[in-house]
């Protein structure tokens, strides 16, 4: 068993931790806030571990970091790894392409498919991602991907169309 490190909170710290517990920026920050609040109240480690899902050694580490750094201990440390391919410039290019449509870029088709959009974005940005990820990004930006509905609206003689609709209605009534 790990030795219990004591946590003392000022009224301002307690209030701030309660705010972070109620509206955490990330789940990890919320769990750390709960751990510190319960630790300051003297709740046993076993109950804190059940409430947060954290291991006992994690509770000790959170308390130690709190005593060393204070509020700064709640932040996540930078994580190693490859930086994401999709950066803000890529997202902006995606939004522009979806808003303008393929005709604005000189393509002969009128609607984007995910594969065509991906090929266009790769040509423009040099970044290639899978179609499923692109579909999720487009959805996250508020765009919906559906099959186009092909109609003749705008290409037909509207007056003749309405005349034919009326005539068809009269024929149906006469049956």
Please report, in tens digits, the pLDDT of each residue of the chain (175 residues total).
Answer: 556 888 989 999 999 999 999 999 989 999 999 999 999 999 999 999 999 999 989 999 999 999 999 999 998 888 888 888 899 999 999 999 999 999 999 999 888 999 999 999 999 999 999 999 999 999 988 887 776 677 777 778 888 889 999 999 999 887 6
Q: Is 129 helix (H, G, I), strand (E, B) or coil?
A: coil
Asked, for residue 46, whether it belongs to a domain, the answer is yes
For the question of whether the overall pTM of this predicted structure is more than 0.75, the answer is no
Closest CA to 153 of 143, 145, 162, 144: 162
Domain that holds residue 48: 11-74
Residues 6+ apart with CB under 8 A from 73: 32, 62, 65, 66
Asked, for residue 168, whether it belongs to a domain, the answer is no
Asked, for residue 174, whether it belongs to a domain, the answer is no
- Which position has the token pair 């046993």? 44
Residues 37, 70: one domain? Answer: yes
Residues 55, 97: one domain? Answer: no
Handedness of CA 120, 123, 126, 128 (dihedral sign): positive
Residues 55, 105: one domain? Answer: no
Domain count, the chain: 2
Residues 69, 93: one domain? Answer: no
Asked, for residue 125, whether it belongs to a domain, the answer is yes
Q: Is 45 helix (H, G, I), strand (E, B) or coil?
A: helix
- Which position has the token pair 């990890």? 28
Asked, for residue 79, whether it belongs to a domain, the answer is no
Beta-carbon count within 10 A of 121 CB: 20
Joined tokens for residue 160: 């003749």
């Amino acid at each position: 068993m790990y030795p219990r490190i004591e946590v003392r909170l000022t009224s301002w710290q307690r209030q701030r931790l309660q705010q972070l517990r109620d509206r955490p920026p990330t789940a990890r920050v919320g769990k750390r806030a709960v751990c510190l609040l319960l630790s300051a109240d003297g709740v046993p480690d076993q109950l804190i571990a059940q409430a947060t899902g954290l291991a006992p050694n994690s509770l000790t580490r959170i308390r130690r970091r709190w005593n060393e750094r204070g509020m700064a201990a709640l932040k996540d440390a930078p994580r190693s790894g490859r930086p994401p391919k999709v950066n803000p410039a890529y997202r902006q290019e995606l939004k522009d392409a979806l808003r303008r449509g393929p005709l604005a870029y000189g393509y002969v088709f009128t609607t984007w498919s995910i594969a065509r959009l991906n090929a266009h974005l790769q040509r423009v940005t040099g970044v290639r991602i899978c179609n499923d990820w692109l579909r999720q990004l487009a959805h996250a930006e508020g765009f919906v991907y559906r099959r186009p509905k092909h109609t003749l609206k705008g290409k037909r003689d509207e007056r003749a169309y309405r005349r034919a609709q009326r005539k068809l209605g009269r024929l149906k009534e006469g049956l």
